[in-house]
A and B are shown apart, each in its own frame.
Chain A
Amino acid sequence: MAVDIRLASTCVRLKPESIDELTNLVTPGDVITSDTGFMRGHGTFMEDGKHHASVAGVVQRVNKLICVKPLKTRYNGEVGDIVVGRIIEVGMKRWKVDTHSKLDSVLMLSSVNLPGGELRRRSEEDEKLMRYYLKEGDLISAEVQSVFNDGSLSLHTRSLKYGKLGQGSLYLVSPSLIKRRKTHFHNLPCGVTVILGNNGYVWVCPTEGEVSEQTGGYEQNFEPVVRADREVVARIGNCVQSLADHRMMLFDTSILYTYEASLKFPVKDMMKPEVKTEVIDLARQRLERDGT
C-alpha cells in the first residue's frame, strides 16, 4: 500500500537553461515571404500576394514549397503510414476506425485479410460476419492505403503483420512525437513488442511466438500473461509515457535507453516526477552521446 501526496510547490517544472532563439520561427499572421515564386504548403495562406503563417512553428522549405509545421496537431495521414486504431462503428462493408485524425478513418471489408489468410472474394456471408471479425472497441494495426479528398483515411490490413491486436496496453501520445522510421514494429530484446503508430497511438504487448502471427490476430489468446512479462510491459509503457511527458521523440533506441536507465527503480516508482526526470535525463544524455 502506498500513498504519495505532495505539495505542488515542491514539484518544480524545470526549464532548459538556455534556449536558442530559433531564427525561422513564425506565429499565426506572420509574413513568411512576399516572393510569389513559392508554392503554398500546410500551415500557410496567401493574402495580398504574401505568404502568411497560419500556425506557430518552424518554417520548412522544400525546393519551392513552403510549409509551417506546428508542434502538435491531430494526425495528418500519409499513404504508407503505420497506424494503430480503434474500431468505433461497424457499417455496411466497412468499419469506422478512430485514428486520432480530423475525421474518422475507414477500413473496407475488401481491404482486410480474412481468417485463413488467403485472398478470396468477399461473399455476403463475410458481410454478415463482420462484427465477428472486428467489433466496436477492438484495436487494430493497419497501414494507410489512401487519403480521400476531405482528408479522411482509408486503411488496409492486407499483410500478416497487421490486424487485430491481442493483450497489451495502449498509450496515447502526440503524433508529432513519433519519429518516422523504416519500421514501426519493434521486438525489443526485453521480450516486448512495441508498435509505434504514426498517429501517436503506441501499442505495447508481450512478444508472441511465431504461431499466432500467422492468423492475422483473429484467433485471440485470453490466457493470462505471466507476471514477469507483465512487469516488462508496464515498465516499457511507463517509459513511453515518461518520454511523451517530457516531449522527447519516440523511436526504438530512445525507448530502449529509457528502459535501461529505469532498471534501477521499481516499476511503480516510475510515476514519481523526480524518478521520471532522472530516467529521462540519463536517456537523453546517452542519446546525445550517440549523436542521434
Chain B
Amino acid sequence: MVDVQLSDAEKTYIIHGAQDNLREDGRGCEDYRHLEIETSVVSTTSGSAKIRLANTEILVGVKVELGETSPENPDKGRIEFFVDCSANATPEFEGRGGEDLANEISNMLARAYDCPSCLDMRKLCVVEGKKCWIVYVDVLLLECGGSLFDASSIAVKAALYNTSIPRLTVTHDEGHTELELSDDPYDVQRLDVYNSPCIVTLSKIGHSHVVDASQKEEACCLARLMLAVTDKGCVTAMKKEGSGSFDVSSIEDMLETGKKVGQSLNKSLMEVLVSEDRNMKKKYMTGYLR
C-alpha cells in the first residue's frame, strides 16, 4: 500500500470514528465513495474503461490476441492480468517501486477470475486443442486515493464488458484448419461479464470494519480481508492481508457485509454499464479532456 504517515492522535480519531459509524468524510462504515466510470477510452484496445473513485484513478485496457491453447485446458481460452503502477500516481512508484503492489493486485484479480462461472472461457476457444483467444487485461494505476483493489476490479469488469472480440469463421479443409476474420468491424462477439466478480476490501479499524478505505484509513488498518463477490453473492476468492490477525467470528461478520456490499456494487455497476451502452451516441468531451 502507498504509505501516508499519521500521528497517534489522528489514528485515534479515525478508529473512534469507525466505531461510531461516522467516518472522517461523514460516510458510514459500509458506504462507498462517489465513483465515476467511462468505457471505450483507448482506441488501440479491444475494450477499455477508466474509473475515478475519489482520488483513485485507474485505466484498464483489454487486448485480445490469438494464441495456442494450453495443454491442460484444450477447450478453453485464457485471461491474463497485468498491473502497472505508474509513477504519475506517486514518485514512490518510480522504476520498480510499484512492482510489489502491482503483483499483489494482479494476483488477486487472477484469483478472483479463476472460477468457471465468472467468465465462460470455453467461448474463447477457437479450434479445440490449437487456437484460442487470449484476453490480456492491463491495469494502469494513475492516482492513488485508497481502495486500489476494489477500484481495479470494478474497472476490469467494466473494461471486459466493453470488450469486443472479432468473429472468426473456421473452415476445415483436408486436415488444414483455416481461420477467416469477418470483414465487418461491427460483427463482433461480446464477453458475458454478468457473473464476473468485484473485489470488496474490508479493512479492520479498531473493532469495526469499513469498506472502501481512504488512504488515511488504510494507514490505521492492521489487517484487511479481500473478497471477490459476484452478482449473486458468491465469493470466488478470499484473502487476508496485513500484519494483524482476525478471530473467526469477525471473519464471519466481514463475509456477511462483504457479500451484501458486493452484490449491490455489482448491481449498480451493471446498471450503469448497460445504460452507457444504450446512450452510446450522445458523447461529448470525454476522457481526460473533460
Contacts and interface: CB of A to CB of B under 8 A. Distances in A.
Q: Do A and B bind each other?
A: yes
B35 A4 contact: yes
Interface stretch (A146-154, A248-256, A269-277): A269-277
Contacts of B260: 1
A136 B19 CA distance: 26
B28 A268 contact: yes
B55 to A, nearest CB: 11
A241 B35 CA distance: 17
B9 A237 contact: no
A227 B7 contact: no
Interface in B22-52: 22-28, 30-38, 50, 52
A5 to B, nearest CB: 5
Interface stretch (B81-89, B90-98, B262-270): B262-270
Interface string B163-207: 000000000000000000000000000000000000000000000
Q: How large is the interface on B (under 10, 10 to 19, 20 to 34, 35 or more residues)?
A: 35 or more
Interface in B1-34: 5-10, 12-13, 16-17, 19-20, 22-28, 30-34
Contact of B27 (A6, A225, A268): A268
Interface string A108-124: 00000000000000000
B115 interface: no
B243 interface: no
B16 A224 contact: yes
Nearest to B32: A3
Chain A's interface: helix, strand, loop or mixed, by majority? mixed
Interface stretch (A8-16, A18-26, A68-76): A8-16
Interface stretch (B70-78, B121-129, B226-234, B282-290): B282-290
A165 B7 contact: yes
Most buried by B among A1, A11, A12, A86: A1
Contacts of A225: 13, 16
Contacts of A6: 34-37, 272
A185 B25 CA distance: 22
A137 interface: yes
Contacts of B37: 5-8
B222 interface: no
B5 A3 contact: no
Chain B's interface: helix, strand, loop or mixed, by majority? mixed
B261 interface: yes
Interface string A258-287: 000000001110111100000000000000
A221 to B, nearest CB: 8
B12 A230 contact: no
A137 B268 CA distance: 39
Contacts of B249: none
Contact of A9 (B9, B28, B286): B286
Given A5-B268, A169-B24, A227-B20, A137 B35 contact: no
Contacts of B269: 5
Interface string A156-168: 0000000001111
B54 interface: yes
A7 B25 contact: no
A130 interface: no
Contacts of B28: 1-2, 268
A231 interface: yes
B264 A234 contact: no
Nearest to B30: A1
A75 to B, nearest CB: 18
A46 to B, nearest CB: 33
Interface in A1-57: 1-9, 11-13
Contacts of A167: 9-10, 12-13
A208 to B, nearest CB: 12
Contacts of A227: 20, 22
A100 interface: no
A235 B26 contact: yes
A220 interface: yes
A220 B10 CA distance: 11
Nearest to A2: B31
B25 A271 contact: yes
Nearest to B5: A137
A170 B34 contact: no
A8 B50 contact: yes
A166 to B, nearest CB: 5
Contacts of A244: none
Given A7-B37, A8-B52, A1 B19 contact: no
Contacts of A59: none
A138 interface: yes
A207 B52 CA distance: 34
7 contacts: A1-B31, A5-B37, A5-B271, A7-B275, A8-B36, A231-B22, A270-B26
Interface of B: 5-10, 12-13, 16-17, 19-20, 22-28, 30-38, 50, 52, 54, 154, 260-261, 264-265, 268-269, 271-272, 275-276, 279, 282-284, 286, 290
Given A3-B265, A224-B19, 7 more contacts: A2-B30, A4-B34, A5-B271, A13-B290, A165-B9, A167-B12, A168-B10
Interface of A: 1-9, 11-13, 86, 88, 136-139, 165-170, 220, 222, 224-225, 227, 230-231, 234-235, 237-238, 241, 266-268, 270-273
Complex A-B, nearest 3 residue pairs according to Cβ-Cβ distance, in ascending order: A267-B26, A8-B38, A167-B13
